[in-house]
Amino acid sequence: MRRLPAHCSCRPQLLPEARANSCLSSNSRFLVSLLLGLLFVSLCRAQDTGTLATEYHGTGVAISVIVHGPSGQPLSSPAMVRLIRGNVPAGQAQTTNGRAELVVNAIGDFTLVVQSAGYESVQKDLSISASGKVEVDIYLRASSTSPTVVPGRPVLAPKAKKALDDGLQALAAGNLEEAQKHASQAMSLAPGHPDVLYLQGVILLRQRDWPKAQEVLEEATQLDPSHANALSALGMALCDEGKYDAAVAPLEKALQLKPTPSWDTRWALAKAYYGQARYDQALQMSQVALSSSKGKAPEIELLVAQSLAAVGRYEDAAKALREFLRDHSDRREAATARRWLNVLAANGKIHSN
């Protein structure tokens, strides 16, 4: 595939998967229609709707952005890549080894904005006229001004710190009412402290008020861009809202900042990767999340099975579902696992037992 300069209109190439969709058998189409929208696992121990591998095939556009430094080599330091359609954000991602992947579900005119500390911001217009896959090269120039220095985190007064600690303890114990009482006290004493905002954001997550949680946690991460817990919680809120493109960057950064990343952060990132149709990465991350959870969240195995099916490993997916049913038949997710097994068997993807 030929790379397009950033200033050129992008001419997407049809994804192989998109071409393959036209050849799907009626049974395969039936499998897709049944699996799309099935109730799936939630990051906050609730369920929400998942999608299948075919969601983006033939209808979406996969945009691969390669960010180069002044030397022409891929930028080794992180850069934030944002996609805007009109005045509406269409997705964002942080680069890894100079590359960022974005997926959009519609064609049209977009604006690509790339920012990295120490470099001048770059803005380029993209014109996408067909579904498929495109690559765009962006070249950054060193900034002539010094990078902005983020102020240090303010110190909490004793009363505010006690209220924060009590709120975190109540939250860990699952007592939301008590946690909210202490969080309100901490907010009145230190409304602009990132730790206090983090506590309030997690409470909102537990209350399933995801838009408000996103708002509070975004404020926390703006005040302290290195707040790993707030970044992780923000990614979870975005996942719960179905904003998978936006969720990847804070979750990846949270993993980079934490010496020993938590299993729930990995689970959230696996779900975000799946939502972006990055199935190989979703499979790898969900397997690590399941292993590191040490049995605390067996429902992650459903995401593992879903990712295995998405990459065509149907027998392995069936094995994971059977193991889940064997060990956790009393859980509410068991009904979903049985449906998926029945669909795989009915469509000849697996051997019936």
Helix (H/G/I), strand (E/B), else coil: 141? coil
- pLDDT tens per residue, range 234-244: 999 999 999 99
CA distances from 172 to 162, 169, 262 (A): 15, 5, 15
- pLDDT bin (cut points 50, 70, 90) of residue 103 is confident
**Which pLDDT score is estimated for 301?**
96
- In this structure, are residues 283 and 297 in contact, taking their beta carbons and an 8 Å threshold? no
Which amino acid belongs to residue 283? L
One-letter amino acid of 326: R
Question: 47, 58, 54, 62: which is closest to 12 by C-alpha?
Answer: 62
**Average of pLDDT values for 184-201?**
92
**Whether pLDDT at 60 is above 80:** no
Instruction: Tell me the CATH number for domain 4-139.
Output: 2.60.40.10
- Average pLDDT of the chain to the nearest whole number: 79
Strand partners, 87: none
In terms of C-beta density within 10 A (0-12 exposed, 13-18 middle, 19 or more buried), how is residue 226 classed? middle
Provide the token pair at 126: 């993209």
Strand partners, 112: 83, 124
What does the domain layout of the chain look like in residue ranges?
A: 4-139
pLDDT band at 50 (very low <50, low <70, confident <90, very high): very low
Tokens of residue 187, six digits: 């907010």
Of the candidates 140, 146, 133, 6, the residue with the CA atom closest to the CA atom of residue 73: 140
Q: What's this model's pTM, rounded to 2 decimal places?
A: 0.57
- CB proximity list for 299: less than 8 A, separation 6 or greater: 41, 328, 331, 333
Residue 139 has what pLDDT? 86
Q: How confident is the model at residue 197 (pLDDT cuts 50, 70, 90)?
A: very high
Under 8 Å CB-to-CB from 238, ≥6 apart: which residues? 214, 244, 246, 247, 250, 272
- Strand boundaries in the chain, DSSP class E: 4-5, 39-41, 47-49, 61-68, 80-85, 88-94, 99-104, 108-115, 122-128, 132-139
